[in-house]
Amino acid sequence: MSLENFIQRATSEWMKVKGPQSDIVFSSRVRIARNLTELPFPMMAGTSQGEKVVKTIEKAWKKIKKHQPILQSAELIRMENLTDLEKRVLVEKHLISPSLAEDSRHGAAIISHDESLSIMINEEDHLRIQVLYPGLQLEKAWELASSIDNLLEKELSFAFDDQVGYMTNCPTNVGTGIRASVMVHLPALAMTQQLNRLIPAIMQVGLAVRGIYGEGSEALGQLYQVSNQVTLGQSEEEIIENLIGVVLQMIEHEQSARARLTSISIIQLEDRVYRSLGILAYSRIMDSKEAMKRLSDVRLGIDLGMIQDVGSNVMNELMVMIQPGFLQQYAGERLNPEERDIQRADLIRERLRMEKQTD
């Protein structure tokens, strides 16, 4: 698949399929960090060493892909060959990290056809295997990530210590090197002012709660990324099991909050949902924060059965398409913030009109 197709498609193929608990859980992700022996970590590597890492991993990928179908249609993309805008789009699709996009001297990524798999090269670590699935499917994501890790380890020598486990650039990843995360939509808990109590409680059990692009990012549209903080002293299965247990409790709390809202203040909730839908359908200027807020309201209305003529997949598409990189890709030119706000409103109106026409 060409790079142009990767960039042009607003929604990854894996996002078009509904997964378990998809009314609340947008996606499940498992990421495995690994480093090669006898080579410095990326932040300390010179040009020749960084290039050696890319070629070594590329060679291993070509040898193992016959054993894993998802790798056969994958493509290796070098960051140095991309524009800043193209890299930004890949970040917005969660195919690469902001770190890889910003410091991409020797960076690359192997991305599968359906974009559920991404292997980042020379990010914070030599390689990071990432698998994304819709809904609550952490165990399935871990199964695929682990199988690819095992195949690569047969071809590559990973830095490993018998006492602490896999060696990584950041101490918080030492041990298993696994980071599991779930993206959850919690609008009812936000409306009922329960998140201020829930988030600290989650963090006390060793989990982190961040925005949609991970550490340091903002939680837009009531989307939160919940992940493990500890990778040392627990097995991969224990990490996955603990996270699933907490997420199931979060789902239960969100469902209870939604039930309360519909039983106590149904008219107020309907007014909020339809008001947001009207604003999305007719506004001429809209910044990203308001757009995510309105899309969150409408997505809640769809999940509660209030809105019948707009599909939840449309909201998923728009939450990606309204980001700055995609807006500029859609426009075919760089836009200043004001121009992006106008383009964002135009794009939302056009997409909603398309949905109405096919209804």
Tens-digit pLDDT profile for residues 85-105: 999 989 998 999 998 998 767
* 166 labeled part of a ligand binding site: no
* 245 labeled part of a ligand binding site: no
For the chain, the domains span 3-187, 266-358
* 214 labeled part of a ligand binding site: yes
* 301 labeled part of a ligand binding site: no
| Alpha-carbon span 161 to 352, nearest angstrom | 54
* 153 labeled part of a ligand binding site: no
* 334 labeled part of a ligand binding site: no
Assign 304 a pLDDT band (cuts: 50, 70, 90).
very high
| Alpha-carbon span 206 to 252, nearest angstrom | 20
What's the confidence (pLDDT) of residue 1? Answer: 37
Which of 89-103, 163-177, 214-228 comes out lowest in average pLDDT? 214-228
What's the confidence (pLDDT) of residue 221? Answer: 84
Mean pLDDT of 242-252: 95
- State which H helix or E strand residue 313 sits in: helix 312-321
What's the confidence (pLDDT) of residue 204? Answer: 87
Amino acid letter for position 302: I
* 215 labeled part of a ligand binding site: yes
* 212 labeled part of a ligand binding site: yes
* 28 labeled part of a ligand binding site: yes
CATH class of the region 3-187: alpha beta
In sequence order, the β-bridge partners of residue 117 are: 131
Assign 320 a pLDDT band (cuts: 50, 70, 90).
confident
Which of 216-225, 307-316, 318-327 comes out lowest in average pLDDT? 216-225
CA atoms within 13 A on the CB side of 16: 7
* 25 labeled part of a ligand binding site: no
Closest to 181 measured CA to CA, from 61, 111, 97, 86:
97
* 275 labeled part of a ligand binding site: no
| Alpha-carbon span 321 to 10, nearest angstrom | 6
* 9 labeled part of a ligand binding site: no
Assign 191 a pLDDT band (cuts: 50, 70, 90).
very high
Assign 321 a pLDDT band (cuts: 50, 70, 90).
confident
